[in-house]
Amino acid sequence: MGTPRLLARSSARTSMPCLSNSLRGCTGTRQRSSTISRRKLRFTRRRGLAMHKLLLVLSIAIPAAFGLAAGGRADAAETKEPYALGWMTDAAGPAKDTYYPEAIGFDLYVKALNDRGGIDGHPISLKIEDYGLDAAKGAAAARKLVERDKVLILMGMSIEATMPSIFEVARASNTPVITGHSSRLDAYPPADPLIFTMGNVFETATDTMVRLTERTFEKMNLTNMSIGCYIHEAPAAEAVCGRRLKGFAEKTKIKPASKYITAPLKTADFSPYAQQLIKDDPTSIWIYTIASHGVAMTKGVRALGYKGKTLWSFEATPEYLVDQAGGQVWGASAFLSPHDPEAAAKVPEMAKLLGAAKKYGTPSSISVGTTRGWVMGIAAEKALKECGFPCDKPRLAQIMSNNFTIDSRGLSGGPITWTKNDHYGCRYFTMYQAEAGKKDITRILPEWLKFCPGDEFYPVKKS
């Protein structure tokens, strides 16, 4: 896949020229002031203003007469000020395939929303910043969005290690945050008043993956299974793989490897790590990592002759990369995939997502991450609508903390609800199967496994 280009800096269209220019600029009158009497100037201005008002009335009345929604091609919504939102991501770095599809999904939702009139006539102006995996750049990007672009909220982000510095900027400016795939315990009970997530706190996601793996093996009639675990070097490594292997040992009949394997983010040769991962001949392996590592490790173990089951999180290493990795992969997901033909046929909201992708185009491939970004769009629209215009940050945070329920519209197993003390909510997971060379993927676990705060195997400790 080629390097994705950044989405448009703003998804809201520009205002009508005459509304942003002076009256003289709108009428085209360019006469020397020395030749115009004050009386004639006042008359000219009154006549120009009357004509301007008439054109404005017609611009609203004519589309309505033909059944066009405000914000469609006539763009009645453009006469109102936009809501400014900020999105942060890795758009070109080693984790671009993990995080950039979310930005695409949110951007598609915003474009579709603006085309149908925005929120009570107010479009969304979306500002997107690419900061890669650099925490310092992330903090600078957050300050830019907050101070220069005056955004109401910061959304998305990349790996969890970059988030603390961004959260500091958010707290200093009283700006709410909604993270995507990666998250931190700040959103977990008792929640930070400003930090919300549609993604995964790794401790609880890990316990969910243990249960999901066990249920999938049962569904596929697999017994006497053993399992290894890989993740890139990260502060969350122990929470992801150490906790996972402990869960398999103590909560299931699946035999875990003696230790998990990690590699530095900038690793070029994965063969030594692949060799360590399969040295005990596991019948299955979890590769829970950013996309570039997921593909490289999968290719590495297969080059060494590994024939067992390979499990990914399709939210971290997306399903479209199975073609690069080769073979067959099982992928866990909290959202339906755009590559799932059953979802496209039976879930109207997925049809809308795919229709938006076709209408507006996408700068790179879409995935379950795109679906998450779309659902984050649903959440943003609801919160802003309840907040009204103008919306201020404290009220927006308060709204999202007050039993705020996000309807996933069939794109996940159920709704996500945020409360005053819980900005995480329940999650629902399923398992897909994808094969290299095949366009579509299939669900091998037809049900959704529900997991909520309080369902953990082991206590979750917040520092």
Count of domains observed in the chain: 1
Rg (CA), the chain: 25
Average pLDDT value for residue range 182-198? 96
Using a CB cutoff of 8 Å and minimum separation of 24, what contacts does 343-351 make? 347/409, 347/410, 347/411, 348/409, 348/410, 349/374, 349/408, 349/409, 349/410, 349/411, 350/410, 350/411
User: For residue 433, what pLDDT is reported?
Assistant: 98
Name the DSSP class of 171: H
Per-residue pLDDT band for 21 (boundaries 50, 70, 90) equals: very low
Q: Which residues contact 78 (CB under 8 A, 6 or more apart)?
A: 13, 14, 15, 16, 71, 123
CA angle 85, 87, 93 (to 5 degrees): 165
pLDDT of residue 463: 67
Residue with tokens 């919306």: 391
Domain membership flag for residue 312: no
Quick: pLDDT tens for 431-446.
999 999 998 999 999 9
Q: Domain residues for 51?
A: 17-74
pLDDT of residue 203: 83
Over residues 266-322, the pLDDT tens digits come to 999 999 999 999 999 999 999 999 999 999 999 999 999 999 999 999 999 999 999
Q: Is residue 453 part of a domain?
A: no
Cα–Cα distance for residue pair 69/60, rounded to 1 Å: 10
Q: Are 333 and 432 in contact (CB under 8 A)?
A: yes
* Domain contains 151: no
Range with the lowest mean pLDDT among 194-203, 322-331, 392-401? 194-203
DSSP states of 336-375: --TT-HHHHHH-HHHHHHHHHHHHH--SS---HHHHHHHH
- 141 falls within a domain: no
The mean predicted confidence, pLDDT, of the chain is 86
In a domain, 107, yes or no: no
Confidence at residue 259, expressed as pLDDT on a 0 to 100 scale: 94
Tokens found for residue 426: 């329940």
The answer as to whether 390 is a domain residue is no
pLDDT in tens, 228-273: 999 999 888 999 999 999 999 999 999 999 999 999 999 999 999 9
> Hey, what are 39's tokens?
């009386």
Domain-embedded: residue 246: no
Closest to 126 (Cα-Cα) out of 155, 159, 165, 102: 155
Q: Evaluate whether residue 61 is within a structural domain.
A: yes
pLDDT band, very low/low/confident/very high, at 10 (cuts 50, 70, 90): very low
To which residue do tokens 């938006």 refer? 356
